[in-house]
Chains A and B, each alone.
Chain A
Amino acid sequence: MANKGFLRTVIILGVLIALAVPALAAYKAHDNDYDTDQFLLAYPEARDTKLDNCYLCHTGGQSGKNYLNSCDWCHEVYGLKPPFGDIDKTLTSYGRDYMEAGRNAAACLAISHLDSDGDGYTNGEEIAAIRLPGDSNDNPDVPEAPGVVFTRADIRKLPRVNQFMVLDTSKSGDYYATYSGVDIYTLLQAAGIREDAVDITVFAADGYSRSFSLDDLKKSYPQGTYETKYAWIHFPENAPYVDGQQIPGELRYIMAYEKDGYPLLTSRIVADSKGIARLDGEGPYRFVSPLVEPVVADRSARSIDRVEPPYPYNPDRSVIRNADYCIKSVVAIRVNTAENKSMHYDWTGQAWKMIEEGELLIYGAIDPQ
């Protein structure tokens, strides 16, 4: 008999051990994570803290009316593929000092006496206190922001939203599903969101993060049509719609805990057949973004006939593919003001425990009741 309690312990231990291995540590979006590795060589105690992330050296930025966090800002300014833009525009003051000092582990130590962000604390002091040395909003003087932890039961007590929708992906195949959960803005209200809040940053257990404006989260979006004729879109055999039918209702941003009527599979990091670490599962919580316009999901970037009509893959499509903005294994939401995108709440090392426990942290610009 396979014992699940024992298995869970093994999984947690496995995850903890895996987190000690660079390949499975905090979110690694790129093949070359040279710089985070250099930082961790200089400061091994910072592993698996918020400093073990791109935003140590890369800042976010304003794109039109939306604030983009470091991932999206870098993708917009520098780009995902060549020809690349100006990387300097994505760097924090600490990132610039690191570059100028030689961009290696020795450079991290060499700039420890500097105060890159000018907040009165040296980089070394800030790193020791797990504060961002390139962000003056985050320093050892700044008190911990208020936070609320929601359990599985807490979230299920909030009004439930069910939405049948298409998940339009870039690479991995599109599909229709019914996601159930709580409207994001309702969830933020339950956490006591303040009036000066303007956007949120959603964090996954593996360190991935993305920002969303409150204006967008408050809106409803038109449903699209149900399409069964396109081989690249998976659909349920028992859906109550026929091909081409307009799906009734509107779509919202939701924090989903169920898909097609059953809980989301608890996420974990596994090695795939090539030995590359990947996230398995979506849950217990997935941030689900709607398609903001009712377009037909296009072909996969990886299909051999991706450029053929109908609906060829178009990397420059103006309507973003919503699945790329759906975030699996969500553990925290930081509520930001216009001035402060880095409010501190110490959940270092807790992410995978939160996944196992089904906890969701909301912190930042909130007044919990």
Chain B
Amino acid sequence: MMRIHKLQMVIVLVTLVIAASIVLSPLTILAGDFTIEKVTSTSFVPGQEGIYVVSLVSSEALDLSKGAKLVFQLPASFGLVKEDILAANPGATLANIQYMYPGDRFFSVITGQTSIVKTSQAVQLHLTVEKGDKDPIRPNTELFITVPGVINSTNSGSYPVQVSHTGNSGETKVAQATIRLGYAPAQAPANLQVRAEGSYQFDATWDKVPGAEYYQLYYCLTPDGTYIQACDFSRDPAPGEMWLLPDTKVTYRGEGSGGILADRNYYFKVRAGNEYGFGPLSPAVAVRTPAVLVDGILVTNQGTIELTCNQAVRINALNRIEVYEMATGLPVNEAAEANGAKVVLYPDLKPGNRYQVVLYEDALESTARPGVYNAVFVFDFTAREVM
């Protein structure tokens, strides 16, 4: 009897404790079913601005329909940039949540209204879903919460990160993780060398930096401009995906972001990184892409057009060689042939009319250096009265 009585007491006590915890924190479920898997950032360097991506999993379906709220919280020693959506740096205004179900081609992107709340203890980004998913997010789907514009605390060390979610039912889930701030390699890589391997490819090498785990190559069209990473994807990158080159060399083919142009100056820089971020960029190295150039042009008495190139060529794309009657825009070229460095066009010219020769890019390819093509070449002339 006694033992049963004690057991009853224990059950009552446990029930009371659970009930009390529900009363004290009625709609909060602490971790366990709502977990931060990983936090990445473009910078964990003290004082620098980073784009944070929190990877998060909920074992239960999650409401991310219109009105659901997400709060991303860091200690008060951190900051958050938030500007107008059309500003050069909108910062946390562009915060979003992404996920992808098996079989999907694209990440779903959920956005909403953002606001920053600062207290003596913490700085928070509040995101209230506007463009959400009317269906609950399936259990165990990896969610990526991207928060741009995070200004790291100025001191190295460990710091807590917290994400809380409140669905339209009012239930709140909280997940926590710890990040560490530290220092990136202090030195920029030395001896950056970039060679243009044809009109549309660069090969770059540089020296190792002690303590560096990986590198990133940057390029720009002007020496003092805003450099971007020389990374070929030709696809949308995944949230938080970074380009980390473990080796001290890379080939860049210029796909995905507008491509490389023939006969054009490019400027390159490289930087070294580790788990915390990246060090300074190296001095710029200039390279001009090689191209087939037209050195001379002759309209003969027979009405053919002879182009003299700076190197031996072959015709790569005949449809990209044209002669136009300028008044009407009518294409009149009938044929073309290449012999060594000479290219002969056979247009149907009318005496006295104005014409325009156009070699569109890639019309000609060097035979001595395959992969070297022409940039656009244009030449106007009037056909002779007697031909």
A319 to B84, CA, bound (A): 13
Kindly state whether residue A261 has any CB partner on chain B within 8 Å. yes
In the bound assembly, the distance between CA atoms of A229 and B90 in angstroms comes to 19
Counting CB contacts under 8 A, is B36 at the interface? no
List residues of chain A with CB within 8 A of the CB of B210. Answer: none
Query: Residue A318 at the B interface, CB < 8 A?
Result: yes
Q: Is the CB of B256 within 8 A of A303?
A: yes
Contact of B318 among A7, A31, A314, A315 (CB under 8 A): A7
Are A358 and B329 in touch, CB under 8 angstroms? yes
CB of A270 to closest CB in B, whole Å? 10
* CB of B186, distance to nearest CB on chain A (Å): 22
**Contact residues of A between 187 and 240, Cβ < 8 Å to B:** 228-232, 234-235, 237
Give A305 to B107 CA distance when docked, in angstroms: 17
Indicate the member of A31, A174, A296, A312 with the most B CB atoms within 10 Å.
A312
Query: In the complex the two chains form, what is the Cα distance from A169 to B17 in whole Å?
Result: 59
Contacts A2-B337, A4-B318, A152-B330; is A262 near B378 (CB within 8 Å)?
yes
Q: Could you tell me if B237 and A304 are in contact, using CB atoms closer than 8 angstroms?
A: yes
Chain-A contact segment, one of B2-10, B201-209, B258-266: B258-266
Instruction: Evaluate contact between B89 and A152: CB separation under 8 angstroms.
Output: no
**Is A312 touching B107 in the complex (CB atoms < 8 A)?**
no
Expressed in whole angstroms, the minimum distance between the Cβ of A131 and any Cβ of chain B is 34
Which of chain A's residues have a CB closer than 8 A to the CB of B110?
A: 83
Asked if B135 and A83 sit within 8 Å, CB to CB, the answer is yes
Distance in angstroms from A111 CB to nearest chain B CB is: 30
The contact of B225 among A153, A174, A229, A257, by CB within 8 Å, is A229
CB-CB contacts below 8 Å: B197-238 with A: 219-222, 224-229, 231, 233-237
Write out the residue numbers on chain A whose beta carbons fall within 8 Å of the beta carbon of B131.
Answer: 316
Closest to B81 in A: A309
CB B128 to nearest CB in A, in angstroms, measures 15
B292 at the interface (CB under 8 A from A): no
Q: Interface size for chain A: under 10, 10 to 19, 20 to 34, or 35 or more residues?
A: 35 or more
Complex Cα spacing A7 to B257, Å: 32
Q: Tell me the minimal C-beta distance from B232 to chain A in angstroms.
A: 9
Among residues of B, the one whose C-beta sits closest to the C-beta of A306 is: B237
Return the CB mask of B248-273 against A: 1 if under 8 Å, else 0.
Answer: 00000000111101001100000000
The answer to the question of B356 belonging to the interface, with a C-beta cut-off of 8 Å to chain A, is yes
Range of interface residues on chain B? 35 or more
The answer to whether A303 touches B257, judged by C-beta atoms less than 8 angstroms apart, is yes
Once the chains bind, are B85 and A318 in contact (CB under 8 Å)? yes
A263 touches B (CB below 8 Å): yes
The answer to whether A304 and B329 touch across the interface, beta carbons within 8 angstroms, is: no
Q: How far is the CA of A307 from the CA of B224 in the complex (A)?
A: 21
Query: A290: CB under 8 A from chain B?
Result: no
B212 to chain A, nearest CB (A): 19
- Chain B residue with the shortest CB-CB distance to A265: B360
Of residues 73 to 130 in B, which have CB atoms within 8 Å of A's CB atoms? 85-86, 88-91, 94, 101, 104-111
Assuming the contacts A4-B333, A230-B226, A263-B329, asked whether A302 and B109 have C-beta atoms less than 8 A apart, the reply is no
Q: With the chains together, A302 CA to B243 CA distance in Å?
A: 13
The reply to whether B90 and A314 form a contact with Cβ atoms under 8 Å apart is: yes
B219 in contact with A231 (CB, 8 Å): yes
23 CB < 8 A contacts A-B: A1-B335, A2-B335, A2-B336, A4-B335, A11-B319, A81-B106, A81-B108, A82-B104, A172-B258, A229-B220, A229-B224, A229-B226, A231-B219, A263-B329, A266-B331, A268-B319, A299-B228, A300-B256, A302-B233, A306-B237, A307-B94, A358-B329, A358-B330
Counting from the closest, the 5 A-B pairs by CB-CB distance are A173-B258, A309-B89, A229-B225, A83-B133, A310-B88
Having A173-B259, A231-B221, one finds 9 other A-B pairs with CB under 8 Å, namely A153-B329, A174-B258, A231-B226, A232-B258, A234-B261, A302-B233, A302-B236, A304-B237, A358-B330
